[in-house]
Structure 1
Amino acid sequence: MDWDTIDMDHASVEIDYKILRVKGAGLLRVRRTNSDAGHRTLPLPLFAMRMLERRIVDADGVRPLFPDAHGGWRDPSNLSRELREARGSGEFAWVTSHVFRKTCAGVLHDSGLSPREIADQLGHANLRTLEHYIGRRAVGEAAATALEVSFGVCST
């Protein structure tokens, strides 16, 4: 994501890009997702908006929302490596980026969202994929509210 995909006035983010490493070209930001369902605009919970408000002050015009050390796009492989290093090989070795998606799906399910709403939040094209987690593009505000209730740290 970059700052152009964030709508601070409407507390939402547009998901429509991927970062790919292309041999001979390096990292490219391409306008496509894995499926049409992957392209979506999501409402953001209050805790995410507060984090973004803090980050925008420090952004200094840097385009990527979470840039690498040089201000560019983060290589997906490097990000996976950094997560592995952060979790270590002990007690938290089971934590992968996929676990965060599964946790989100579980929280939304436990909060009473329908399978369609959960699939929409995750960008799944159909409900079959929820067998691994728990749509369409029209994501409601209930997803942002459920995440805020479960994970929000309300500090002013």
Structure 2
Amino acid sequence: MSRIEGGRKKAPRALTLGERQQWLTQLEADEKAVRWDLPDLSRFMLATGVRVGEALAVFWSAVDLDAGVVQVDFNVVRAKGEGLIRKSTKTEYGERTLPLPTWAVAMLRKRWEEAANHDGPVFPDSLGGLRDPSNTLRVFRQTRGSEDFSWVTSHVFRKTAATILDEAGLTARLIADQLGHSRPSMTQDVYMGRKSVGREAADVLERALDAKSDAKSARKVHGGRREDR
């Protein structure tokens, strides 16, 4: 029997600049989304490319606002008999220190000034403890609004951050470091020894919500040459 060839995989879909701005405007206007802290959570995931569980596991002790960096070492999971816990990221590659765009630092600084507890999560639940990723994802689905955003999941922010970095000509290795991957692509298997991501990633993500910076950066892609495609 001849082997049936699989269909061509769909290319990962990312939010365009207009969609990113529309998404945040829509969430800011939704009372439930605001109550669940989804606008700032969306901004943080867009600024870093982290998974939702990783974002919810970030404590203030992992944030250095003066240096403009955040340590990503944990993931929030529900453990049998224990409830919600912070668990070390899936692999050694997942532990990383990420520089932040200035707009993300400004957002976090405002949250720090308004936070009731500086020893807990940056994105806590209503009682100040760990927020359940599953419940957060449910509210994401409920508040994403029109059919235009029916395809958007929390993972789309991860894809969007990677796409912005890729379109700016950053190498696959640097993008993999940003996302906490051991391999830059399915065809590349490179051991990652470094844990701190270069400043270039934050510099590129600076334009994620800025139309003027987005256009300017697109014209300055390594002299028009893209690398490591």
Quickly name the TM-score band, shorter chain normalised: 0.7 to 0.9
* Structure-2 separation of matches of 1:4 and 1:138: 17
Give, in angstroms, the shift of residue 37 of structure 1: 1.0
Specify whether residues 129 and 55 from structure 1 end up closer, same or farther in structure 2 by C-alpha distance, changes over 3 A only: farther
Q: Who is 2:72 aligned against?
A: 15
The 5 Å alignment of 1:4-153 reads 4-30=61-87, 32-62=88-118, 63-88=120-145, 90-129=147-186, 137-152=195-210
Q: CA deviation at 1:82?
A: 1.1
Could you say which structure has the larger radius of gyration?
A: 2
Taking structure 1 as reference, are residues 24 and 89 closer, same or farther at Cα in structure 2, changes over 3 Å only?
farther
**Is contact 1:109–1:115 with CA below 8 Å preserved after alignment?**
yes
Equivalent residue letter for 1:6? V
Residues 138 and 3 (structure 1 numbering): CA distance in 2 closer, same or farther, change over 3 Å? closer
The alpha-carbon distance between structure 1 residues 127 and 145, as it changes in their structure 2 partners (threshold 3 A), is same
Identity of aligned residues (%): 47
Query: Does the aligned pair in 2 maintain the 1:87–1:93 contact within 8 Å?
Result: yes
How far the C-alpha of 1:66 sits from its partner, in A, is: 0.6
Shift of 1:127: 1.5
Q: 2:75·2:86 contact (CA, 8 Å) conserved in 1?
A: yes
Unaligned runs of 5+ in 2: 1-57, 212-229
Q: Distance in 2 between matches of 1:89 and 1:48?
A: 26
C-alpha spacing 1:152/1:17, structure 2 compared with 1 (3 Å): farther
- CA distances 1:74-95 after superposition (whole Å, capped 9, x unpaired): 1010111011011146221100
Secondary structure at the aligned position of 2:77 is classed as strand
Query: Secondary structure of the equivalent of 1:61?
Result: coil
Q: Say which SS state the counterpart of residue 91 (structure 1) adopts.
A: helix
Change (3 A) 1:52 1:129: farther
Q: Matched residues in 1 for 2:184 and 2:127: separation?
A: 40
Q: What is the RMSD of the two structures over their aligned residues, measured on CA atoms? A: 1.9
Cα 1:38–1:129 change in 2 (3 A) is farther
Looking at structure 2, the residues matched to 74 and 130 of structure 1 have their Cα atoms a distance apart, in angstroms, of 36
Shift of 1:150: 2.8
Deviation of the 1:39 alpha carbon: 0.2
SS of equivalent to 1:104: helix
TM-score of the superposition, structure 2-length normalised?
0.61
Stretches of structure 1 that go unaligned for 5 or more consecutive residues are none
